[in-house]
């Protein structure tokens, strides 16, 4: 298949594609934060929260660590999840995130998974991480696949925390961990 | 639809049942199919909407997370339903987010802009389902569902329905046929029965009742109706039979005629009367036999019957082949049917030939003398008046001859009535021989004949005919092998010289005839003025008599004594009337008694005589002059004797006058008694029972039969003076007188001889032991005063 003029045509096409990709990435970086932020809000709707958590005065969205969303999370504030106003806050320690519904873990590498396990055992909170490798601590992980934000879901961890996902969400997840191996 | 009623009942029945069944099935089926179709469409629509709703719900995450692959895979799940053609998902910006085709051909692209509502397009349904999450519209699901299966299902149903219809058709045809059998059979049975009855006229046939339903009831009703018809037919038959019998037995001819004037019925009597052998002919043929004189009125009556329905009765004569006439009465009237419409005429024909002949005979009797065949008094008067009128008009003469036989009464009495009749017939025959055809001979009563001669030229001609008649009549006639000589007296009057009216002419002829009698009989007399004058004298006498009866003073009673011829003793007297009209001489009884008899005045005169005589004799009796055993004899005229008040009058008179019954004796002439013997006997018995004696006057002149004499309750016979008169000159009369006396004695009757004028007569009578005598020799009639002296003288002498 590797004919002379074919190589030329493929080379020129690659150049055009790379150029456009470059532009897309810059743009995508910006957009990814927004998409993730939008997704976070939507995901909360596909999660079945226990009654006691739904009866709390507000739906707290906490970011553990640095703000990887560059402030876009604040856009969630003022909106409602199960008719409760959304509160967005930054927490530095796991301990300070006690009453969070949604816990966005910015730096998964800094989190001791066993410690998190214990923490989650005592309360129902949805942990969100980036990257497919961090699903051991994140019930929902945002993964970039083919330039698109995809979801990986760890059902085991969710079950451990006492949460359940709507089937709809599971259907759009590109990877689901379930059952103890 | 005019063909519908023409169909057979069975066709209509089967057709309607099958048609109804098929229509019912068709209607039900199509209603069901339509309902099914609508219901299916609704169901499918709802199912699809639910499906869409599920898919929409499932797709929320895919849409939110932009997972078109997942969305498409969700859509693929719809492939489980084979009817879904395609499905599309639009995002919130109405851009196609995902889609899937479930068919391989004729794929359509997703509609550009999703609609808000569900749309049905022909063979498919398009459903738009909004996709919402947390009340926010995040997209739309579009589904197109094919409805082809519904059409297929519909086609299947049609096929199934057609199959069912076919089965229903077969089943309903079978049921209808059976029903038809059930229904039509009994009806047919009735129809067959009705047809048989019509053909055979047998009303005893009945329809068989095969079923117990309404048709069975109908058969019963039909049979009941038949029974009724049979009954009525029988009653009609018997009524007709009765009529036929009546018609056969009826003494009158009966006929019926239809409106076409065709004779449709006649009985045998009709055939007998009319002599028409083939009776069912046209009316005209029959009426054509009516004689001309009656035909017009008959046809008029008949046309009135036909036009105005006026019943009629006409008397007609039918001319027979032998020229005789059968007289009939035709009565006819119209015939009405039960609706009151005229359908013919009916009538009766009576043979009145005998009646008619009797009538003709009666008419003959009314105008002709049955014995002689001559015209009678009535017809004669008619002819006379016509002849008088004719003579006045034409200025001709007529002659009237009045003829009376001289010895008829004698012949009749001596030879018997048959002989008398024979004599009259012979006289009539002779009279007819003597005159012309145009003249009229009539017998106007007893032995009186008239001859009316018209167109007379001269009295000589009349004279000649009268002589011819007298000559002819005087020729001897043989009756019962006995030669009889008879003569006649003829009175002749002429018109207009003697009179120009019938009454005058009759009276004139009568007078002339009496003159002829007076002239010795067997001659003729022409009426003359003298006769007329004498007639006038009669009338004067009658007038005077009436006046005298009113005054009574003009009448006197004379008594002619009777003595016992042996002892010369006074035994009684005959009371005789004398008339002395005021200022005139005494008039003889011979003159006025016939006039009194004829005019009827004899009755009051007789009464007066009886009363006066009783009064006078009572006086004499009271004076002791009249002997107790003596009797006064009073004459009773024929008129008095036949007077019904006679007996009552006698009783009254005796009562008023106080006259004892025993001294009264009534003298009745022999001829009076012989007029009506049986009645006379009865009257005499009544008189006799009162105690009054009865004497027969003028005995020997009336040809009394001895057998009658025996039956008469009489006491005394008076021998007529005509016999006594000729004693002793006529030996015959002497012999008769002697025989009469002897016979009277045999019958225990005493005898009075009257008209004794000579001693020879007296001696003869005495020698024949005649009890009593009366006459000039003994005493002339005398007034009552003189009678006193006579009685006293006689009593002294004895």
Tell me the residues of chain A between 39 and 78 that have a Cβ less than 8 Å away from chain B.
Answer: 39, 42, 45-46
Tell me whether B556 touches chain A (CB under 8 Å).
no
Distance CA A176, CA A132 (A): 11
Of A148, A151, A168, the CB nearest to B58: A168
* pLDDT for residue B702: 59
Q: Is the peptide bond before B496 cis (omega within 30 degrees of 0)?
A: yes
pLDDT at A1: 40
CA angle B32, B36, B37 (to 5 degrees): 120
How many CB atoms are located within 10 Å of the residue B488 CB? 30
DSSP character for B384? H
With CB atoms and an 8 Å threshold, state whether A167 touches B58: yes
Please, which residues bridge with residue A103 across strands?
A62, A127
- The model's pLDDT over B560-599, given as tens digits with 9 standing for 90+, comes to 999 999 898 999 999 999 998 877 888 888 888 888 887 7
**pLDDT band with cut points at 50, 70 and 90 for residue B750:** very high
Within 10 Å of residue B372's Cβ, how many Cβ atoms?
A: 21
Out of A39, A151, A168, the one facing B60 most closely (by C-beta) is A168
Share of chain B above pLDDT 70, in %: 97
Look at residue A2 in the predicted model and tell me its pLDDT.
Answer: 41
Q: B67 to chain A: nearest residue by CA?
A: A172
Give residue B561's pLDDT.
Answer: 94
In this predicted structure, what is the pLDDT of residue A23?
46
Q: In this model, does residue B297 exceed pLDDT 70?
A: yes
d(C-alpha A151, C-alpha A143), whole Å: 6
> In terms of pLDDT, which residue wins out, A125 or B105?
A125
Copy the structure tokens of residue B524: 């003729």
pTM above 0.90, yes or no: no
Residues of B in contact with A86 (CB under 8 A): none
**H-only helix segments in B519-600:** 529-551, 589-599
Cα–Cα distances in angstroms (integers) from residue A172 to residues A140, A175, B235, B338, in the given order: 12, 9, 113, 110
How far off is chain A from B108, nearest CA to CA, in Å? Answer: 28
Residue B535 contacts residue B541 (beta carbons within 8 Å): no
Instruction: Judge whether A144 is closer than 8 Å to chain B, CB to CB.
Output: no
How close, in Å, is residue A169 to chain B by CA atoms?
6
Q: Does B68 touch chain A (CB under 8 A)?
A: no
| pLDDT tens-digit map of A124-164 | 889 998 888 888 888 899 888 887 888 899 988 888 888 88
Task: Tell me what the mean pLDDT of segment B71-85 comes to.
Answer: 84
CA dist B94 and B128 (Å) reads: 12
- Chain A nearest-CA distance from B58, in A, is 6
Q: Is B64 on the interface with A (CB under 8 A)?
A: yes
The pLDDT of residue B38: 83
Q: Does A166 lie at the interface with B, CB-CB under 8 angstroms?
A: yes
A148 close contact with B: CB closer than 8 A: yes
Task: For residue A39, give the nearest of B58, B65, B70 by CB distance.
Answer: B65
Q: Which two tokens stand for residue A112?
A: 């001791």
* Among B661, B670, B710, CA closest to B688: B661
| Residues of chain A with C-beta less than 8 angstroms from the C-beta of B67 | 171-172
Residue numbers in A near B57 (CB within 8 A) = 168
Mutate which of B58, B64, B131, B135 to disrupt the A interface (most A C-beta within 10 Å)? B64
Quick one: closest CA in B to A46, which residue?
B61
Question: Residue B44's pLDDT band (boundaries 50, 70, 90)?
Answer: confident
In chain B, what residues touch A171 (CB-CB under 8 Å)? 58, 61-62, 67, 70, 74
Q: How many CB atoms lie within 10 A of CB B679?
A: 12
Phi, psi (deg, nearest 5) at residue A59: -100, 110
The Cα–Cα gap between A127 and A105 comes to: 7
Of B187-201, B272-286, B316-330, B488-502, the one with minimum mean pLDDT is: B272-286
Which of B595, B598, B676, B593 minimizes the C-alpha distance to B635? B593
Number of Cβ within 10 Å of residue B499's Cβ equals: 20
pLDDT for position B757: 92
A172 touches chain B (CB under 8 A): yes
Q: What is the mean pLDDT of residues B720-724?
A: 86
For B665-684, what is each residue's pLDDT tens digit?
999 988 788 777 888 899 99
pLDDT at B298 over 50: yes
Query: What's the mean pLDDT in B273-291?
Result: 80
Q: Cβ of A45 and B134 within 8 Å?
A: yes
Residue with the two structure tokens 């996902």? A165
Question: Which H helix or E strand runs over B377?
Answer: helix B377-394
Predicted local distance difference test score (pLDDT) of residue A18: 54
Concatenated DSSP letters of B666-704: EEEEHHHHHHSHHHHHHHHHHHHHHT-EEEEEEETSS--
Residue B752 φ/ψ, nearest 5 degrees:
-115, 130
User: First-to-last CA distance in chain A?
Assistant: 44
CB A87 within 8 A of CB A47: no
Q: Is the pLDDT of residue B525 over 90?
A: no
> Contact B125/B41 with Cβ under 8 angstroms?
yes
Is the Cβ–Cβ distance between B612 and B557 less than 8 Å? yes
The terminus-to-terminus CA distance of chain B in angstroms comes to 145
Q: Is the pLDDT of residue A29 over 70?
A: no
Instruction: Tell whether B66 is within 8 A of chain A (Cβ).
Output: yes
Mapped to the 3 state alphabet, what secondary structure does B304-361 carry?
HHHHHCCCEEEEEEEECCCCCEEEEEEEEEEEECCCCCEEEEEEEEEECHHHHHHHHH
Distance from C-alpha of B531 to C-alpha of B537, rounded to nearest angstrom? 10
Confidence grade of residue A10 (pLDDT, cut at 50, 70, 90): low
Which of A163-172, B170-179, B556-565, B733-742 has the highest mean predicted lDDT (pLDDT)?
A: B556-565
DSSP B630: -
Nearest residue on chain A to B66, alpha-carbon basis = A172
Do A171 and B70 count as a contact with CB atoms less than 8 A apart? yes
pLDDT value at position A7? Answer: 55
* Amino acid B442: pLDDT: 93
Q: How confident is the model at residue B705 (pLDDT cuts 50, 70, 90)?
A: low
Nearest CA to A108 out of A98, A116, A100 is that of A116
CA distances from residue B680 to B638, B689, B698 in whole angstroms, order as listed = 10, 14, 16
Residue A94 confidence (pLDDT): 83
Q: Does B435 score more than 70 pLDDT?
A: yes
Q: What is the Cα–Cα distance from B638 to A88, expressed in whole angstroms?
A: 190
Q: What's chain B's average pLDDT?
A: 86
| Strand pairing category for B570-579 and B631-636 | parallel
Q: Given the DSSP bridges, would you call strands B124-133 and B312-319 parallel, antiparallel or unpaired?
A: unpaired
Contacts of B452 (CB under 8 A, 6+ apart): B380, B383, B384, B387, B398, B399, B400, B401, B439, B440, B441, B442
Q: A171 and B61 in contact by Cβ < 8 A? A: yes
Among B59, B70, B133, select the one facing A45 at the smallest CB separation. B133
Q: What is the dihedral of CA A58, A61, A65, A68, to 10 degrees?
A: -150
B134 interfaces chain A, CB cutoff of 8 Å: yes
């Amino acid at each position: 298949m590797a004919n002379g003029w074919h190589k030329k045509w493929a080379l020129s096409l690659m150049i055009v594609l790379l150029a456009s990709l470059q532009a897309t990435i810059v743009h995508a970086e910006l957009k990814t934060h927004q998409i993730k932020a939008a997704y976070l809000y939507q995901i909360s709707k596909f999660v079945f929260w226990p009654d006691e958590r739904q009866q709390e005065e507000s739906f707290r969205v906490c970011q553990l660590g640095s703000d990887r969303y560059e402030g876009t999370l604040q856009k969630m504030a003022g909106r409602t999840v199960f008719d409760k106003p959304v509160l967005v806050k930054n927490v530095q320690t796991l301990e300070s995130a006690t009453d969070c519904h949604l816990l966005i873990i910015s730096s998964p590498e800094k989190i001791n998974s066993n410690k998190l396990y214990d923490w989650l055992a005592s309360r129902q909170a949805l942990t969100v991480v980036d990257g497919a490798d961090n699903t051991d601590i994140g019930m929902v992980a945002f993964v970039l696949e083919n330039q698109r934000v995809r979801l990986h879901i760890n059902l085991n961890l969710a079950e451990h925390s006492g949460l359940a996902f709507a089937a709809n969400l599971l259907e759009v997840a590109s990877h689901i961990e379930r059952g103890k191996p | 639809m005019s063909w519908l009623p023409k169909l057979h009942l069975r066709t209509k029945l089967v057709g309607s049942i099958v048609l109804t069944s098929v229509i019912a099935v068709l209607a039900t089926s199509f209603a069901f199919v339509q309902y099914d179709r609508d219901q299916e469409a609704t169901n499918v629509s709802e199912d699809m909407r639910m499906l869409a709703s599920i898919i929409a719900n499932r797709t929320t995450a895919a849409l939110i997370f932009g997972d078109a692959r997942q969305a498409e895979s969700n859509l693929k799940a719809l492939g489980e339903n084979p009817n879904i053609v395609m499905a599309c998902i639009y995002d919130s910006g109405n851009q196609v987010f995902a889609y899937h085709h479930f068919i391989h051909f004729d794929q359509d692209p997703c509609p550009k802009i999703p609609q808000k509502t569900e749309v049905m397009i022909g063979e498919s349904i398009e459903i738009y389902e909004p996709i919402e999450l947390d009340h926010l519209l995040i997209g739309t699901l579009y589904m197109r569902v094919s409805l082809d299966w519904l059409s297929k299902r519909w086609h299947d149903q049609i096929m199934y329905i057609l199959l069912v219809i076919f089965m229903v058709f077969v089943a309903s045809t079978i049921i209808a046929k059976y029903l038809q059998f059930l229904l039509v059979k009994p009806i047919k049975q009735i129809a067959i029965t009705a047809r048989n009855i019509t053909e055979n006229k047998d009303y005893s046939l009945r329809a068989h009742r095969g079923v117990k339903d309404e048709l069975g009831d109908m058969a019963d009703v039909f049979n009941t109706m038949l029974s009724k018809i049979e009954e009525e037919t029988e009653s009609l038959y018997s009524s007709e039979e009765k009529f036929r019998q009546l018609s056969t037995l009826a003494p009158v001819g009966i006929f019926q005629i239809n409106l076409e004037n065709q004779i449709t019925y006649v009985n045998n009597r009709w055939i007998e009367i009319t002599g028409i052998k083939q009776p069912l002919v046209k009316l005209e043929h029959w009426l054509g036999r009516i004689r001309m004189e009656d035909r017009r009125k008959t046809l008029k009556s008949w046309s009135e019957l036909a036009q105005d329905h006026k019943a009629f009765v006409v008397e007609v004569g039918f001319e027979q082949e032998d020229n005789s006439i059968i007289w009939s009465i035709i009565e006819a009237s119209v015939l009405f049917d039960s609706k009151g419409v005229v359908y013919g005429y009916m009538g009766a024909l009576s043979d009145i030939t005998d009646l008619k002949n009797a009538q003709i005979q009666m008419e003959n009797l009314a105008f002709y003398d049955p014995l002689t065949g001559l015209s009678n008094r009535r017809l004669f008067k008619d002819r006379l008046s016509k002849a008088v009128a004719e003579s006045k008009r034409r200025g001709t003469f007529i002659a009237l001859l009045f003829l009376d036989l001289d010895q008829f009464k004698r012949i009749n009495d001596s030879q018997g009535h048959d002989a008398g009749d024979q004599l009259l017939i012979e006289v009539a025959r002779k009279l007819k021989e003597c005159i012309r055809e145009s003249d009229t001979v009539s017998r106007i009563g007893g032995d009186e004949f008239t001859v009316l001669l018209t167109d007379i030229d001269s009295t000589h001609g009349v004279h000649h005919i009268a002589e011819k008649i007298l000559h002819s009549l005087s020729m001897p006639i043989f009756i019962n092998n006995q030669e009889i000589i008879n003569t006649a007296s003829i009175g002749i009057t002429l018109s207009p010289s003697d009179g120009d009216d019938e009454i005058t002419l009759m009276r004139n002829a009568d007078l002339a005839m009496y003159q002829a009698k007076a002239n010795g009989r067997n001659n003729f007399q022409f009426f003359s003025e003298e006769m007329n004058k004498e007639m006038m004298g009669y009338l004067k006498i009658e007038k005077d008599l009436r006046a005298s009866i009113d005054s009574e003073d003009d009448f006197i009673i004379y008594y002619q004594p009777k003595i016992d011829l042996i002892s010369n003793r006074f035994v009684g007297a005959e009371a005789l009337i004398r008339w002395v009209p005021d200022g005139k001489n005494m008039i003889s009884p011979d003159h006025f008694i016939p006039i009194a008899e004829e005019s009827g005045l004899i009755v009051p005169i007789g009464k007066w005589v009886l009363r006066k005589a009783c009064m006078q004799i009572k006086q004499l009796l009271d004076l002791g002059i009249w002997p107790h055993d003596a009797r006064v004899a009073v004459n009773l005229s024929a008129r008095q004797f036949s007077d019904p008040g006679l007996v009552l009058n006698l009783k009254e008179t005796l009562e008023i006058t106080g006259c004892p019954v025993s001294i009264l004796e009534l003298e009745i002439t022999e001829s009076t008694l012989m007029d009506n013997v049986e009645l006379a006997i009865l009257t005499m018995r009544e008189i006799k029972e009162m105690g009054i004696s009865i004497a027969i006057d003028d005995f020997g002149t009336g040809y009394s039969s001895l057998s009658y004499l025996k039956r008469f309750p009489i006491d005394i016979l008076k021998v007529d003076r005509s016999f006594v008169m000729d004693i002793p000159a006529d030996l015959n009369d002497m012999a008769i007188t002697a025989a009469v006396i002897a016979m009277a004695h045999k019958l225990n009757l005493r005898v009075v001889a009257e008209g004794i004028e000579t001693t020879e007569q007296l001696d003869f009578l005495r020698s024949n032991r005649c009890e009593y005598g009366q006459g000039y020799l003994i005493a002339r009639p005398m007034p009552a005063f003189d009678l006193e002296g006579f009685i006293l003288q006689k009593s002294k002498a004895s």
